[in-house]
Structure formats: structure tokens, C-alpha cells
């Protein structure tokens, strides 16, 4: 079957360009056009500004984004073997696909393309949380850096992003993500949909930045307090926060019980503690 715009099937592209998957680059290719189309349609308003795609690989999701009407896709790929295949795709969609060879852990995505910028990616799992934290740091500095992020994670990581207090998965990543964004798990994709199949199920997550953070706090102190609290998540806060100073006045100022444990605190509670700690 031919793909959109009469392009050759992805399996043929992979074979012709010798794109055997490399584990070190987290390569699991999604070749099912129904699924790539579903991810592209989950990204809001792609007809404006730029979609920044991290790790296009042979270009399956890239094709779907273009076919679904993305005004411009800027695709950042570390594996130079993929560049020729992506150049063919760029030629099929003149002026709408820019390919950047490079490492998404080093490139400032907020400088690529034009605003509003959104990120869409079937992320390389080995660096998915490092990438997300990097983009959250950019959003803490500028809530308009990205208008949306539609990202595929391992199901277990997706669970941590959307977890509510008092659940097993609630932790640092939940607090940092939900402080700045609204995060929602959209749908799962089974291992068999990928070539080669990963060991685990994947989940597509919608992460939409809030206009303003949920509560005032500095990223630095929020990182410190969540690291201390969740670093010893079974301990009461009066014990786990000791590494940051004498916590007694912070409990008094916030009304948070010294006997509470990290997982019982809301995102707003963590912000209140972070604010006290930053205030000295
Ligand atoms: N988008 C393709 C798809 O859905 O079939 C490929 C997804 S695959 C899970 C992850 C992609 O990210 C691979 O193409 C890999 O080469 C690329 N990648 C890995 N590390 C990267 C990095 N640091 N910067 C940019 N791309 C990277």
C-alpha cells in the first residue's frame, strides 16, 4: 500500500536506506498508518505555527503530521542514516518539512520553527524523562515556549505523569509536570504495533501547558523539596525534609502536618513548602 501523497511504504523506505533499528537510540518504529494518524490527530491545532517532532526515524509519524495538515514540521533526528529518507519526504511536501540533524538533549527546541510551537514525538524511551524535564524547565521560564506536547512514553512513565496524590505512581515527575501543565493519558499502543516490538506497552499523553503555573514557586526550590520528600517517601515529612534545614517553621506557615508523607501532599502543598524554603 502506498502512503499519503503516493509515498512508498515505510517498510520499503527502511529496507532501501538500511535503517535497521538501533537499541542505543531507542528505535522502535511505528509503521501502522492508522496509529500514526491517530497520534497526529491528537495534537491540537497543527495547522498553525510549527510542530517540532523529536526522532522522526524513517518518517512514519512525520508523514501523518503532514498528511493531517501540519503547517510546518521541524524534525530533529540524531541518526544520520535517516536523513536521506527524510529528504525524500521533505521533497514530497515542499516547504513544509525541515529536518535538523542533532541531539534533542542539546538543541533548544523553543528556537526552532515559528510560534506557536508544539512538540509531537514517539519518544526514544531511554531519554524520554530527561527530554520532558528539559522541556518543563523551558516552560517554567516561559509558559508560552510550547503550546502543547503530544508524546508517547512507556505506559509506566505515562502513569507517573498523570498520577494523583495518594497513588503509588505519584512522585517528582507528577508534581513538576502537573505544576506547569495539564497532563492526560490518551490511549495505549501495544508492543506488537512497533518494529521491533519493545518489551512494554506504550501510552500517548497529552501535556498542555497552563497559562500560569498551578501555584507560585521557583522551579529550583520545587525540585529540591520534591527530591527530599520523595527520596524518602515512606518517612514523615518532619524527617525527610531535615536535609533542607529545620522544617518546623515551614509546617507552621503552610499548615501541612509534619507527620504527613510525600505522597499525601497536593501539587499546591509542594509549591507552598517550596515557597517557604526559598524564603529562607
Ligand atoms: N518517529 C519514529 C516512529 O514513530 O516510528 C521513530 C520513533 S523511535 C521510538 C525514536 C527516534 O528518536 C529514533 O528515530 C531515534 O533515532 C531518535 N533519537 C534517539 N535519540 C535521539 C536524540 N537524542 N535526539 C534526537 N533524536 C533521537
CATH code (residue 170): 3.40.50.150
Residues 189 and 251 grouped into a single domain: no
Residue nearest to atom 5 of ligand 1 (CA): 29
Dist. CA 231–CA 262, nearest whole Å: 9
Best residue among 124, 133, 134, 201 to mutate for probing ligand 1, ranked by most atoms within 8 Å of CB: 124
> Considering the domain boundaries, does residue 67 fall inside one?
yes
Q: Which run of H or of E encompasses 184?
A: strand 181-189
Give the tens place of pLDDT for each residue, 204-246.
999 999 999 999 999 999 999 999 999 999 999 999 999 999 9
Residues 153 and 69 grouped into a single domain: yes
Residues 104 and 228 grouped into a single domain: no
Residues 180 and 44 grouped into a single domain: yes
- The radius of gyration computed from the CA coordinates of the chain, to the nearest angstrom, equals 21
Q: Which residues contact 164 (CB under 8 A, 6 or more apart)?
A: 170, 174
> Considering the domain boundaries, does residue 214 fall inside one?
no
> Domain ends where: 163, 188, 209?
209
For the chain, how many helices (H) and strands (E)? 11, 9
Residues 204 and 230 grouped into a single domain: no
Residues 119 and 234 grouped into a single domain: no
Which residues constitute the domain of residue 180?
4-209
> Considering the domain boundaries, does residue 176 fall inside one?
yes
Residues 195 and 86 grouped into a single domain: yes
Q: Which residues contact 231 (CB under 8 A, 6 or more apart)?
A: 240
| Span from the CA of 124 to the centroid of ligand 1 (angstroms) | 5
The whole-number pLDDT of residue 280 equals: 65
Q: Are 136 and 176 in contact (CB under 8 A)?
A: yes
Number of domains in the chain: 2
Residues of the chain with pLDDT under 50: 1-3
Residues 244 and 128 grouped into a single domain: no
Cβ–ligand 1 distance for 122 under 6 Å, the answer yes
Residues 164 and 248 grouped into a single domain: no
The whole-number pLDDT of residue 279 equals: 80
DSSP 3-state of 95 = coil
Dist. CA 11–CA 39, nearest whole Å: 19
Written as nine digits, the cell of 161 is 505523569
> Domain ends where: 175, 190, 209?
209
Dist. CA 255–CA 38, nearest whole Å: 45
Written as nine digits, the cell of 153 is 512514553
> Domain ends where: 171, 191, 209?
209
> Considering the domain boundaries, does residue 29 fall inside one?
yes
| Span from the CA of 208 to the centroid of ligand 1 (angstroms) | 22
Residue nearest to atom 20 of ligand 1 (CA): 25
Cell 503555573 belongs to 213
Q: Are 279 and 257 in contact (CB under 8 A)?
A: no
Best residue among 37, 42, 78 to mutate for probing ligand 1, ranked by most atoms within 8 Å of CB: 78
CATH number of the domain encompassing residue 231:
1.10.8.100
Residues 72 and 143 grouped into a single domain: yes
Residues 28 and 132 grouped into a single domain: yes
Residues 196 and 256 grouped into a single domain: no
Written as nine digits, the cell of 175 is 508534581
Cα–Cα distances (Å) from 217 to 26, 135, 225, 278, in that order, read: 34, 17, 11, 8
The whole-number pLDDT of residue 1 equals: 38
Written as nine digits, the cell of 41 is 490527530
| Span from the CA of 56 to the centroid of ligand 1 (angstroms) | 6
Amino acid at each position: 500500500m502506498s502512503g499519503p501523497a503516493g509515498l512508498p511504504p515505510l517498510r520499503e523506505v527502511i529496507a532501501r536506506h538500511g535503517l535497521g533499528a538501533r537499541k542505543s537510540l531507542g528505535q522502535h518504529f511505528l509503521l501502522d498508518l492508522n496509529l500514526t494518524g491517530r497520534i497526529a490527530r491528537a495534537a491540537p491545532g497543527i495547522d498553525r505555527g510549527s510542530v517540532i517532532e523529536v526522532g522522526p526515524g524513517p518518517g512514519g509519524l512525520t508523514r501523518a503530521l503532514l498528511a493531517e495538515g501540519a503547517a510546518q514540521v521541524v524534525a530533529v533526528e540524531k541518526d544520520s542514516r535517516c536523513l536521506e529518507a527524510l529528504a525524500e519526504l521533505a521533497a514530497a511536501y515542499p516547504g513544509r518539512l525541515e529536518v535538523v540533524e542533532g541531539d534533542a538533549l542539546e538543541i533548544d527546541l523553543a528556537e526552532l520553527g515559528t510560534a506557536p510551537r508544539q512538540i509531537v514525538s514517539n519518544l526514544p524511551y531511554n531519554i524520554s524523562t530527561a527530554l520532558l524535564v528539559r522541556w518543563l524547565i523551558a516552560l517554567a521560564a516561559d509558559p508560552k515556549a510550547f503550546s502543547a506536547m503530544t508524546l508517547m512514553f512507556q505506559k509506566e512513565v505515562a502513569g507517573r505523569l498523570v498520577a494523583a496524590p495518594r497513588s503509588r505512581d505519584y512522585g517528582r515527575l507528577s508534581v513538576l509536570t502537573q505544576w506547569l501543565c495539564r497532563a492526560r493519558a490518551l490511549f495505549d499502543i501495544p508492543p506488537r504495533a512497533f518494529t521491533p516490538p519493545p518489551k512494554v506497552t506504550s501510552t500517548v499523553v497529552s501535556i498542555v501547558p497552563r497559562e500560569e503555573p498551578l501555584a507560585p514557586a521557583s522551579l529550583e526550590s520545587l525540585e529540591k523539596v520534591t527530591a527530599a520528600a520523595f527520596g524518602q517517601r515512606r518517612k514523615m515529612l518532619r524527617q525527610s525534609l531535615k536535609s533542607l534545614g529545620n522544617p518546623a517553621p515551614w509546617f507552621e506557615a503552610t499548615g501541612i502536618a509534619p507527620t504527613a508523607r510525600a505522597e499525601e501532599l497536593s501539587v499546591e502543598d509542594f509549591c507552598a513548602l517550596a515557597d517557604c524554603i526559598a524564603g529562607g
